Amino acid sequence: MKVQQEFSKSAKYYDSYNTIQEQVAKKLVSWIDNKPKNILDIGCGSGTIYKNIDWQVDRFTGIDFSYLMLKRHPRFNNVALLYRDFNDSDAFKQLLPMGIDCIIASSSLQWAKNLREVFSNLALFNAPMYFAIFTSNTFDTLNKTANITSILSSKQQILRCANQFSVLKQQTQRYILHFDSKRKMLNYIKKSGVSGNRNILTFKQIKKLMLTYPLDYLEFEVIFLHVVT
């Protein structure tokens, strides 16, 4: 299943399954200096970043490639929501003259096909940037138990892509999410959109994995970056 379909499929559950992304967005917004007025949110989803911005903005532009996620985003006169694929280098061209003074991407760029290229396209705005990107240590024990290689980039790979910027601040944060049953854990994996569900495992293999998985929690690792060009 393509990442786009996966997010559209999970859109209706997203707001009840995005506990970790909520915490990530809150932290990322707390890093933003100087209350920027013209913000671009890459992979804005249903508006977690927008909802955490507690100062007046002139314009908030959110881009996402899932109509269903965009439909759930708050809509006001100063909010522009655009259907765009951030992997497409033309996605940002029209936005370049808009005087964007802050770019933010929370829990989205781990799905970039070529992160270095997306970073280069964003560099053209010449604006401060704030990223929170899930790393390959997400679902670490789960992946090891199932003998799966993570589809996400490692922290080192992400940092190598970011070496085209000046990194003003960086932090790696681990999160865990407890479940009172394996069934709820499995539901979370299916519905949160964190897995980029590639149907790597058959139903039988998933059932076995749930029996052998030794933890009652899932693990997440997120790298936070504040960079400038």
| Chain residues that interact with ligand SAM, rule: CB under 6 A | 3, 7, 18, 21, 25, 43-45, 48-49, 64-66, 69, 85-87, 106-108, 111, 193
Coil vs helix vs strand at 213: coil
Shortest spacing between CB 21 and ligand SAM, in angstroms: 4
Shortest spacing between CB 132 and ligand SAM, in angstroms: 8
Residue 8 makes CB contacts below 8 A (sequence gap 6+) with 66, 67, 68, 69
216: tokens are 């009652």
Q: Which is nearer to ligand SAM, 31 or 204 (CB)?
A: 31
Q: Which is nearer to ligand SAM, 145 or 172 (CB)?
A: 172
Distance of CA 176 to the CA centre of its chain: 17
Q: Which is nearer to ligand SAM, 1 or 205 (CB)?
A: 1
Shortest spacing between CB 85 and ligand SAM, in angstroms: 4
CB 64 within 8 A of CB 87: no
Q: Which is nearer to ligand SAM, 114 or 166 (CB)?
A: 114
Residue 186 makes CB contacts below 8 A (sequence gap 6+) with 206, 210
96: tokens are 């370049």
Shortest spacing between CB 40 and ligand SAM, in angstroms: 12
- Tokens 């765009």 map to which residue? 84
Hey, how many other C-beta atoms are within 10 angstroms of the C-beta on 203?
8
User: What residue number has its CB nearest to ligand SAM?
Assistant: 45
Q: Which is nearer to ligand SAM, 67 or 166 (CB)?
A: 67
Shortest spacing between CB 66 and ligand SAM, in angstroms: 4
Count of positions (residues) in the chain: 229
